[in-house]
Each structure stands twice: as structure tokens, then as C-alpha cells.
Structure 1
Amino acid sequence: MRLHVDERHERVLALVRARGSLRVADLAEELGVSAVTLRRDVEALATQGRLRRVHGSVVWPGAAAGAAPDTAAAPAEVRDAEGVVAGMVVPTLDHPFGEIVEGARDALEARGGRLVLGLSGHAEGDAEQAGRLVAAGADGLLLTCDRAPGPDSGGWVPGTGVPAVLVERAAPPGSPGADLDHVRCDAAHGAATAVRHLASLGHHSVALVLREAADADHLRAGYAAAVEALELTPAPGSPYLAPARLPEAERIERTAEHLRALAEEHGVRAVLLHGDEFAVVLVPRLRALGVLVPEDLAIVVHGDQVASLADPPLTAIAPPERAVGEAAVALLLERIAEDRRGDRGPRRHVDLLPSLRVRASCGAVLRAAGRA
């Protein structure tokens, strides 16, 4: 039953009073309303002085100025980040890095700290940008690199003299940066989840289409592990790599022809596609070739930026990009606190699991309707 606006306001106040502070997104989910509706409620309550807004969170007026949501169990040093400056090096603010940066910024500002960016995709590289941020007063670094990690990955990081966390990247075992903290989305788990979902719908062979990106190897590994574990028949030509050197229209055309041949000549009726923006353009081209989604080809995409807007809406593996930024900030603040105390806890490699969002393109909706 829908709550009247006054009832909703009272529930918002009761929840925030009980917990001290809450993220707006978490509060909206708990109340079963949209984030837009809740932001409107929070705006009204803040104007009345009944709540305080703190960068993506709501805080009870009596709570400490730097209070952060859901941190009661965290060490006091982590909760108190007043004045902390974190430098973050990213190659670009395009997706998914923009979402990661937003998550990091909101998490840090909610604790009273500040995020400063350096873009390594321009004139300076990672080490140069990191050095500039430290020289400008950064207490710690969040480092995201858009290049493929090599045997020397991360060797320069200890030389910055401040705590650092790799974000959405990890240095390979045996490299100088292998013992650095990192936080990333587990793309291999996401690929395996997609294959397992398609197998649950009755598909005995699943294709994989990759694009040239930093997470491609992880998707390939997760796909291969799931195919083996589920004893599926490997799809001919998988993984298929859509060459980045080709113009977009030609990449779409070649990929569509490849999938048409798999469906018509080899009976492969399911595919995991790398990138939902790519898939949104690919589906109409498949339709033009006589391959209907999901009737002839079930599709799951890795990435959920625009998947829900496709025709048909695309079932997606959704990486938790904002949560990656938030978790990286929490870990960095802990390291900064340890650094100030002069102790050192064990390093951590944190992998956050993506979620499966089932929509029409995988055929599950049609299958459920057929059983009804």
C-alpha cells in the first residue's frame, strides 16, 4: 500500500533517528520508493530543519558533523575522516570510471574528507599524476589504471610515501604491486553467473563475445570455468573478439554475422556479450539478419548502463561500480589511520560480486509466461 507523504516523512524521520544516518539510496530501498521521491522528501525535511543532508546521505540533526551511514562497527579512526584528502588517479571520467569516482567522492565527503582527481589519460601518466597529488597534500591514493597490468605493475607506488589502494584493477601475482590493497568487481564471477543462468534456461552451448578492455581476460576465465563446470558444449569460435581497430559499424556487422552463423549453422542459441552499449546497437542488426532476440538467440550482457533501455530490455550482469568506489575509500581510510598510528594490518584483495538483472533478452520472461 502506498504511503501518504506525511506518513512517509514520519517513517523517514523514525529510521534516521534510530540509526543516526543513512544513505539516501538505502533509505529509498527500505521504504520501497524511488530515489527521486525520497530526495524530494529529504529536501522538504531538511528545509524544515528536521534532517541534515550530507552528500548522498541523511543525518539526524543531533549526529556528529562527520557521521557516516552504517559505520557503527567500524573503528573510530575510520569514522573520523575530517580533513582527510584522498587523491584519485583515473584514466577518464567515462563509464564505468565516472560511477566509481562518484561512489568514492560521496563516501569520502560523508565522512568529512575530500577527493581530488588526477586524469592519467591526458598529458601525464599514473606515477606523475600520483606524485602531483601527493605533493599537493593528498593523505592517500586511489589508483585506477586503464592499461593492461604487466610484471612491473605497481612498482612505483610505495615510493609515493602514502597509503594506496588499487581500484578496479589488480597487479598480477609476482609483480611489485601484488601485495598492494585492491578493490574491484569480480568480473569472472559475473561471467560465470551469466553462463549458469543461460544453462538453467536449457541452453547446452553458450557463446562469448568480448571487446578489447581491461576486464576481458577475467570474463574469459569466468566463462571457461563455468562451461567446464556445467559440462556445456563450447561454442565454435568462442571467445569471439570484436576488433577495436575496426570502425564501429564494421564491428557490429561482423559480430552480427558471427552470431547468425552460430545460431543457424551450429545451433548455438545463447550468448554472453561484453558491453551493454555495444549490445544495444547489435540487437537491431541481428533482427535485420533474421535472428530474433530472445526467440532465436538468448542474450545476457556484461554491463548495465543502458541495458534496460534496449528493445527488448537486456538481461545484464551489473557490476557494482559505485560500491567499488565506496569500499575503496573505506579501505584507504583504514590504511591512513594505521599509518598515523604506526601499525600495519594485513593487506586485502577485495572482490565485490556483480548482480544478475533478469529482463526479456534471455528468454526467461517468455519461458515463465509459457508456464503460466
Structure 2
Amino acid sequence: MTEFAAVDVIRAKRDGHRLSDAQIDWVVDAYTRGVVADEQMSALAMAILLRGMEAGEIARWTAAMIASGERLDLSTVTRPTADKHSTGGVGDKITLPLTPLVAACGAAVPQLSGRGLGHTGGTLDKLESIPGWRASLANDEFKRQLDDVGAVICAAGEGLAPADRKLYALRDVTGTVEAIPLIASSIMSKKIAEGTGALVLDVKVGSGAFMKDLTAARELAATMVQLGKDSGVTTIALLTDMNTPLGLAVGNAVEVAESVEVLAGGGPADVVELTLALAREMLAAAGLDADPAQVLASGAAMDTWRRMIRAQGGDPNAPLPVARETEVVRAAADGVVTAVDAYGIGVAAWRLGAGRARKEDPVSFGAGVVLKVKPGDPVRAGDALFELRTDDPARLAPARETAAQAVTVGDAPPALTQLVLDRIA
């Protein structure tokens, strides 16, 4: 591999030039090995944020991230593989009912998930509220469960795209998280390395999402779809609304409970709608002709959920953790709910202990916010708006203030909004 001086690569991007394939290969490999220092990669990440990257540069950067580690070979899995990735939101528990549902329809779903940070929740944190469930699986366990159950939700192994793990932590503390080339390559390097044949991206848009406006979300979605296609992965993106939390439960155990309601044939309408929309896309991308609504109604997805939880050491019958302290906040006057701001509710749940400020922080499994209303619901004075749950009573006051500002009651109902805003393929 050709050697470069890190400062020359930084200057090239700082001055708006296209990085060569050789420069990209070298800098990603050298950073992973510790030859390029954090402060040098910080400068390069900032240059990428400010100057951008061409499509060819992003593709090569993604390939270099994949090449920094191992690539799973799922060719021995007997079912067609399909995965989903969400860019993160509030109340976004969709992976939990979706994974067993798509598996019950005949696909194998290799769902590598992460933990929450800040106001957005993490799938692994939610599942770890189930007694005994474990997030870490060896590669042979992972493949065996894919064949036996058809569904795995677990943490990515240390060997998958180690360059991304190192760069992600750096971006978080250097103000470069927002760089679309780096977001796209971070997500897609892991998803391509995991070996799935089809991928559906759920790109969230709105106050509770990472991408606040539709234009930037479309750019990110189109970039990721192209990266997937270039790597031979059938890739589709849905842009979905995240101005309002998904469902009524925001937290860890409370979201597991709501997901089980969906698998049992109930649950909030928006969670069911998005679960089915993503399931249809995943099945079509995998070449499977099945009706996920019928499979959900049959109870087969619930059976797969229970098998999946048991396979990873969890007890699907065990009671979920319950917070020690609860407080119901009620409407002060008659009216109609005009808004439930996703960001505000996410921050309130984080303040109650459901999330973490730093990667190493613990989470409270029972903490969270349970909404009693959604936008458009009429309320009378004294009606419950939301319930706060925490193990630490000192957390109630700051969470109450934040959540109360997030729920708005007015005189006129809000305009109707769509959950699925766009589709990019």
C-alpha cells in the first residue's frame, strides 16, 4: 500500500480536492492501526464535513472501512437474507416486532443493532431489559441461529468494520457527526460487512431524528442506497416522520412491552403501520411473496419472537423491570393535543434514566415516558397526558418540565401528517 503524509491528505480535502483511491485506502488503514493520530483524523473529518465528497470518494471510503475488518459470509444460510437499519428516533422500537415478523414470512434477518446515546434509544438496551437475554454472539452462533430461528438481533462483533468504531467515537466529540459522507459510510460499511443480501433503510426526518429536514434526509438516503447497490446489496430507503414519537412508550422495558402488544395483534396504529410497511419492503427486496399482515395476525411472528429471545438466553415469560417511582401529568384545560414533540419526549426519557450521556453510562431498564395521548386527541382538564417512570425520584422534576413543554394542547386539531414521507430505490 502506498504511504502518504497525513497532513497532505488533510490539505487536499481542506482545499476542496478529490481524494485518490490510494489516499483513502491508506488513511483509513493507517488510522485503524494508530499511525494517523486522532487529531489528524479530526482535521480530515472536519474538512470532509465542510468540503463534502464525490460519490466515488464515498464508495471508496466505505470499501476501505469494510476492508479494515472481517466480512461475514452468510452464503450457507438457507433462507434469503434481509435486514433493516433505522437512523434512530424516539419510541422507535420497530426492530423488535419487525425482525421476527419478516423471519416468520420466510426470510433470515441478521439484525446487528446498537445502544442508545442521548435522546434516541438503542435496540440492545431495550432487549437487555428481558431477564437473561444477551447481546453478544460468536459468528458461528449468529449463523446457526439465523438458520434455526430465522431471526437474530445482536451487537456487531469487534471484527466488523473496526475503522468505523474508532472514527464514530471521534466524530462524536469533534462536531463532525453531521457529515453525510461519514454518516453514510459508517452505516453502510457495517451493513455490507454483515453479509445481508437485501437492506431496507428507515431514514427518520424531524425534531426527534438526526436529520431535521427532508432535503438532507433525501441526500443521505440516496447516498446509502447507491452504496448498497454498488456492493451488490438490494437497497431501498423509506423516509419516515419523526416529529412525533412512535407509539406511546419511550424507554426500554416499556418499549419491549409495546412491541409484544404488536406481536399479539394489538399495539399503537403507527407502530403497526410502519412495521408492516418495512416488512413489505424487506420481503420484496428478498424476493419473497408473503403478506406480513396475515402472518402477524396468525401469531406466527409471536412464536418466532419467543424462539429468538430464548435462543439468546432470555425468558420471554419473565416479568419486565418496573420503575420504582411514577408520576402522571394531567391536562390543565380542555382542548385538543396539537403536538407531541419527539425530541422533548426523548430528552425527558433520558433524564428519567432510560438513556445515557456517554457510551459507558448504565441505563435504567424500567425508566421512561408512557404517553396517554397523540396529536389530534381531544382532552378535558384533568385527563392524563403522560406518565413518567424512574427509579430515582430526583429525576422527576427536570423530566416533567421537559415533557410538559413537548405536549401542546390547543383549540384546533393539527393538520394530518403521513408516517411514510418518501421512498428512494
Query: TM-score higher than 0.5 here?
Result: no
Between Structure 1 and Structure 2, whose CA radius of gyration is higher?
1
TM-score normalized with structure 1 length: 0.30
TM-score normalized with structure 2 length: 0.27
